[in-house]
């Protein structure tokens, strides 16, 4: 796989991750980064400013009436500001469009628009990843074939193809575990160019409204690529195990998002995380860095804006909005009123 193709791959893993299956930088994302993302790093090519994803002609069965994975937040200590929250999916299909008018109006009427990364940081993330990959070769001539059990190699090859795995095998495992989820997503015809975040960045550009980042790509890349080698190996093995044991897990996550089913999404995310911890309890710290700690920091940022009386539109991976310790739960604990 060429380096430019790896960029597209990493984006899914980090941003958002449901165990490497949500988000996101995942990614992340990685996630189980990621696909509902945990992270936005490396979104791949973006539509030209003003462009919009091609909408489906008719809603698919199960598509909800009204906004999908959207919430409003107001009240609270100061009682001044207003927050419109849109949980995103970093990959999608035409059936997710058009977005509900209330989502578009919420973005257009807000004083401040926030996302995981600003458009400028997205643009420079490519070079950052290239730099990190240039230093990501495994030491001593080792490859992933030396680090993975035979069964995991066979499972990875079945998903990614032997040649793709061979090309990634010289790198530290973070490159492969970022890529793995995008191959899985491709089998479901989930397209990075049809992610909800892509549509919202595009709409903001069309309206001439700046989008500010909640964090920077250096931080996201550190979360993705920073764990020690033994943890990276476990993350890759866990992604492979999850698909082998739960081949429909990503499909269930996507369907819960598509149908706007907050409870189902939370259940799927929690189950994926529990399976991850049952496989390797050592991954608890990584999961905490990917979701819990970031949720806590982002809730503080949003609280500051609301206390200043700002009207804010925020869009981040939906994994940050459901499940234990999510951003909305934290804002409610600060005294704000949260409504779907």
Can you say whether residue 55 is alpha, beta or left, with left for phi > 0 and alpha for psi between -120 and 50 degrees?
beta
How many whole angstroms separate alpha carbon 143 and alpha carbon 104?
47
pLDDT the model gives residue 64: 59
Average pLDDT, the chain: 83
The contacts of residue 193 (CB under 8 Å, 6+ apart) are 44, 45, 47, 53
Under the banding of pLDDT at 50, 70 and 90, the label for residue 130 is: confident
Rounded mean pLDDT of 29-54? 37
Higher pLDDT, 29 or 62: 62
**Beta sheet of 311-317, edge-to-edge order:** 211-213, 112-115, 311-317, 82-88, 70-75, 336-339
C-alpha distances out from residue 176 to 78, 108, 306, 313, Å: 46, 38, 40, 34
pLDDT the model gives residue 231: 97
- Tens of pLDDT, residues 283-300: 999 988 888 999 999 999
At residue 306, does pLDDT exceed 50?
yes
- Tens of pLDDT, residues 69-94: 999 999 877 667 999 999 998 899 99
How many whole angstroms separate alpha carbon 25 and alpha carbon 17?
9
C-alpha distances out from residue 203 to 112, 113, 200, 209, 277, Å: 14, 11, 5, 9, 39
Residue 227 φ then ψ, to 5°: -60, 150
pLDDT the model gives residue 203: 96
- Tens of pLDDT, residues 253-275: 999 999 999 999 999 999 999 99
Residues 20/33, Cβ–Cβ less than 8 Å: yes
> Prior bond to 98 cis, omega within 30?
yes
Place of tokens 């409870």: 263
Rounded mean pLDDT of 135-162? 97
Residue 78 φ then ψ, to 5°: -95, -30
- Tens of pLDDT, residues 2-36: 333 333 333 333 333 333 222 333 332 333 333 34
C-alpha distances out from residue 82 to 111, 122, 194, Å: 10, 27, 28
- Tens of pLDDT, residues 183-233: 999 999 999 889 999 999 999 999 999 999 999 999 989 988 999 999 999
Residues 264/256, Cβ–Cβ less than 8 Å: yes
Which residue ranges make up each domain of the chain? 3-42+64-339
Higher pLDDT, 135 or 31: 135
């Amino acid at each position: 796989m060429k380096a430019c193709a790896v960029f597209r791959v990493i984006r899914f893993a980090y941003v958002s991750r449901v165990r490497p299956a949500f988000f996101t930088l995942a990614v992340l994302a990685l996630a189980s980064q990621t696909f509902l993302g945990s992270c936005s790093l490396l979104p791949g090519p973006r539509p030209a400013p003003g462009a919009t994803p091609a909408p489906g002609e008719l809603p698919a069965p199960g598509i909800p009436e009204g906004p999908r994975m959207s919430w409003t937040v107001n009240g609270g200590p100061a009682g001044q500001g207003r927050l419109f929250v849109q949980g995103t999916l970093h990959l999608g299909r035409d059936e997710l469009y058009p977005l509900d008018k209330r989502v578009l109006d919420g973005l257009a009427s807000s004083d401040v628009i926030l996302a995981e990364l600003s458009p400028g940081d997205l643009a420079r993330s490519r070079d950052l990843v290239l730099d990190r990959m240039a230093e990501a070769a495994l030491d001593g001539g080792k490859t992933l074939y030396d680090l993975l059990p035979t069964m995991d190699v066979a499972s990875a090859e079945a998903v990614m193809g032997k040649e793709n795995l061979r090309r990634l095998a010289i790198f530290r495992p973070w490159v492969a575990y970022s890529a793995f989820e995008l191959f899985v997503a491709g089998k479901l015809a989930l397209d990075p160019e049809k992610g909800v975040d892509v549509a919202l960045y595009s709409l903001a550009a069309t309206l001439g409204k700046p989008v500010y980042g909640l964090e920077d790509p250096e931080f996201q890349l550190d979360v993705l690529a920073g764990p020690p080698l033994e943890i990276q190996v476990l993350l890759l093995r866990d992604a492979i195990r999850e698909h082998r044991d739960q081949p429909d897990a990503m499909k269930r996550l996507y369907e819960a998002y598509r149908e706007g089913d907050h409870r189902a999404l939370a259940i799927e995310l929690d189950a994926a995380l529990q399976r991850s911890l049952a496989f390797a309890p050592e991954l608890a710290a990584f999961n905490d860095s990917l979701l819990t700690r970031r949720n806590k920091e982002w809730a503080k940022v949003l609280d500051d804006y609301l206390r200043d009386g700002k009207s804010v539109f925020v869009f981040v991976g939906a994994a940050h909005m459901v499940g234990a310790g999510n951003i909305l739960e934290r804002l409610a604990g600060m005294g704000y009123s949260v409504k779907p």
